[in-house]
Amino acid sequence: MSDDKKRDEYDIELGEKNGKVFDAPTPPPQPRFTPAPSSSLSNNPILPILSYCASSILMTVTNKYVLSGTDYNLNFFLLCVQSIVCVVAIQTCKSSGVINYRDFKVDEAKKWFPISLLLIGMIYTSTKALRFLSIPVYTIFKNLTIILIAYGEVLWFGGSVTSMALFSFGLMVLSSVIAAWADIKHALESHGTSTSEATARISTLNAGYIWMLANCLCTAAYVLGMRKRIKLTNFKDFDTMFYNNLLTIPILFVASLLVEDWTSANIAKNFPVETRNNIFMAMIFSGLSSVFISYTSAWCVRVTSSTTYSMVGALNKLPIAVSGLIFFDAPVTIPSVSAIFVGFVSGIVYAVSKVKQSSKPKTGILPSSNTAPISASSQSMRDGFKS
């Protein structure tokens, strides 16, 4: 009996090495155990949803608090501090056994380095746009990135866009137009149409819109590039976070030393004595909140579902925009509130469209899809990536 068992194990091992797959014997049925509802608080879906929303609001508000200073211009230094805090935090969690991710490898770092450069472009333009624009306007314009990513997937990944998604894109554009009009209208009404203050305010808004456009382009390039690179490296969430932040630290540090002004006078402007400690604390919190967002995102998907997570992401736009009205001097007018509402609805419509699209078979007729024929070798390579 022992020799037969050893022979069977050898045959299975040899078959696996040769590419054959043997079905394992069906294990005997185990008694089903249903834990009590109150056995674990972490399995309550309300807690991860609230945690995800809170971490998103925390990161946006703290970044705006640091960047809202009239003379703050050390953006590269801010991003470097956030990356250092993030790496230290996740490394501490790994050492404590809370999370796990890959160890650093030079060959993987070389493959991921272009994505880190795109990340720097995305977060740098984000800080510049957030400095010149209010949180509600920034949140509304951020929706335009969804359009770029969607059609980027159509061009490069064979994605598709449904009629409902097209309708949500129209709402996103409409909300952005309303937000820009509300900002310009408020600037002219507050300072007059012919004063130097109004001209300066309009120039500030125009600079914010240009940086916001650059941020949308950089964000779309980062997301699409990361999606393609992940297929090659098979990175998980914390692998991506570790390599992104670790690789950006030396670049941001060197860029801050070479580009930014580190004279004592400029440091005093960026970090006034009366608010210096608060600014440093906000920097640390913003770095930690990026870790919280990644963790609570995975937690929300695990406890609920990807559908619920997508809806939470759409609904989360409203409290982020409202936080700008509460904590900062963003103008509360009928056009600005209307822009927030339209942007909020567009996010919900887009989330619903993605849910319906994922529940349908892939062989439907869609209004905008990349249906160009591809060669057999390209199809084989694509199937290999999927597997």
The 10s digit of each residue's pLDDT in 225-265 is 888 887 777 887 788 889 988 999 999 999 999 999 999 98
Q: What pLDDT does residue 21 have?
A: 42
Instruction: Round to whole Å and give the CA distance between 301 and 297.
Output: 6
Q: What pLDDT does residue 121 have?
A: 92
Question: What is the span of the domain harbouring residue 235?
Answer: 47-359
User: Using an 8 Å Cβ cutoff, are 143 and 134 in contact?
Assistant: no
**If you write DSSP's letter for every residue of 138-195 in order, what string do you get?**
HHHHHTHHHHHHHHHHHHHS--EE-HHHHHHHHHHHHHHHHHHHHHHHHHHHHH-SSS
pLDDT at position 210 over 90:
yes
Tens-place pLDDT, residues 129-148: 988 888 888 888 888 888 88
User: Is residue 373 a part of any domain in this protein?
Assistant: no
User: Is residue 55 a part of any domain in this protein?
Assistant: yes
User: Is residue 29 a part of any domain in this protein?
Assistant: no
| Helix (H/G/I), strand (E/B), else coil: 369 | strand
Please measure the distance between the N-terminal and C-terminal CA atoms of the chain and give it in whole angstroms. Answer: 39
User: Is residue 299 a part of any domain in this protein?
Assistant: yes
Other beta carbons within 10 angstroms of residue 100's beta carbon come to 10
Q: What pLDDT does residue 327 have?
A: 73
Instruction: Round to whole Å and give the CA distance between 77 and 40.
Output: 41
| Helix (H/G/I), strand (E/B), else coil: 125 | helix
Which of 26-35, 111-120, 283-292 has the lowest average pLDDT? 26-35
Tens-place pLDDT, residues 49-103: 788 788 888 888 887 877 776 577 888 998 899 899 999 999 998 999 888 888 8
Mean pLDDT of the chain: 76
Q: How many CA atoms lie within 13 A of 122 on its CB side?
A: 21
Tens-place pLDDT, residues 280-334: 888 888 888 878 877 777 677 667 665 566 667 667 777 778 877 777 777 778 8
Instruction: Round to whole Å and give the CA distance between 344 and 364.
Output: 28
User: Is residue 335 a part of any domain in this protein?
Assistant: yes
Amino acid, res. 81: V
Q: Are strands 368-369 and 160-161 parallel, antiparallel or unpaired?
A: antiparallel
What ranges in the chain are assigned the alpha helix state H? 2-17, 46-67, 75-95, 106-132, 135-142, 144-156, 163-191, 196-233, 237-259, 264-270, 276-303, 306-315, 317-327, 334-359, 376-386
Which of 142-156, 312-326, 336-350 has the lowest average pLDDT? 312-326
Instruction: Round to whole Å and give the CA distance between 169 and 163.
Output: 10
Other beta carbons within 10 angstroms of residue 123's beta carbon come to 24
User: Is residue 112 a part of any domain in this protein?
Assistant: yes
Which of 2-11, 46-55, 108-117 has the lowest average pLDDT? 2-11
User: Is residue 251 a part of any domain in this protein?
Assistant: yes
User: Is residue 148 a part of any domain in this protein?
Assistant: yes
Domain count within the chain:
1
Cα–Cα distance list, 24 to 4, 28, 119, 136 (Å): 17, 12, 44, 56
User: Using an 8 Å Cβ cutoff, are 311 and 348 in contact?
Assistant: yes
